[in-house]
């Protein structure tokens, strides 16, 4: 696939976005920008675990929506448009109790008004923990 990004982005630029707000609180970090993928990690720690000591499903969804939303905004002209989450689903297929989880975000559909992303979250030994699909609406900036 050809490079899908609107302009060349660096990990530093993407991580400056992730450093703020909820993604900053959860220590989400971009680790790779490919021609058609964005990869980010999140630690499994007291901020991201549920009371039984395993990764909270909601934290996985935050990771998935964050990496997909940022990816959509890397594709569009952000002077004119913004990408906002429209729908997300997640299947939690395995637990994680420590280390890092890694989300790999790839496009399923890149249209003028919607983007659909496939996000696979894996644990430190490359086992699938969560699979998510995110739909992002592309809307004019106000």
Q: Active site residue: 12, 13, 32, 65, which one?
A: 65
pLDDT for 97: 96
pLDDT for 74: 97
pLDDT for 142: 87
* Catalytic site includes residue 65: yes
Phi, psi values for residue 122, rounded to 5°: -125, 155
Going from N- to C-terminal start, the domains of the chain cover 11-140
What is the phi-psi region of residue 53: left when phi exceeds 0, alpha when psi lies from -120 to 50, beta otherwise?
A: left
Average pLDDT of the chain, as a whole number: 97
d(CA 18, CA 21) in angstroms, rounded, equals: 8
pLDDT for 33: 98
Name residue, tokens 């999140």: 42
Q: Is pLDDT at 109 greater than 80 in this prediction?
A: yes
Q: Is pLDDT at 1 greater than 70 in this prediction?
A: no
Sign of the four-CA dihedral 65, 68, 70, 76:
negative
Rg (CA), the chain: 14
d(CA 64, CA 42) in angstroms, rounded, equals: 10
d(CA 101, CA 10) in angstroms, rounded, equals: 21
**How does pLDDT run across 52-70, given as a tens digit for each residue?**
999 999 999 999 999 999 9
pLDDT for 2: 82
Cα 52 to chain centroid, rounded:
25
CATH topology of domain 11-140: Thiol Ester Dehydrase; Chain A (3.10.129)
**How does pLDDT run across 68-102, given as a tens digit for each residue?**
999 999 999 999 999 999 999 999 999 999 999 99
């Amino acid at each position: 696939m050809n490079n899908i990004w609107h302009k060349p982005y660096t990990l530093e630029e993407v991580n400056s976005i992730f450093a703020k707000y909820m993604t900053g609180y959860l220590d989400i970090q971009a680790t790779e920008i490919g021609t058609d993928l964005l990869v980010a990690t999140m630690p499994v720690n007291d901020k991201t675990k549920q009371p039984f000591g395993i990764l909270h499903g909601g934290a996985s969804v935050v990771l998935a929506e964050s990496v997909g939303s940022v990816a959509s905004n890397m594709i569009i002209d952000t002077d004119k448009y913004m990408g906002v989450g429209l729908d997300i689903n997640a299947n939690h297929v395995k637990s994680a109790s420590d280390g890092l989880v890694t989300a790999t975000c790839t496009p399923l559909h890149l249209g003028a008004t919607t983007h659909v992303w496939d996000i696979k979250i894996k644990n430190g030994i490359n086992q699938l923990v969560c699979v998510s699909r995110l739909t992002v609406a592309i809307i004019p900036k106000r």
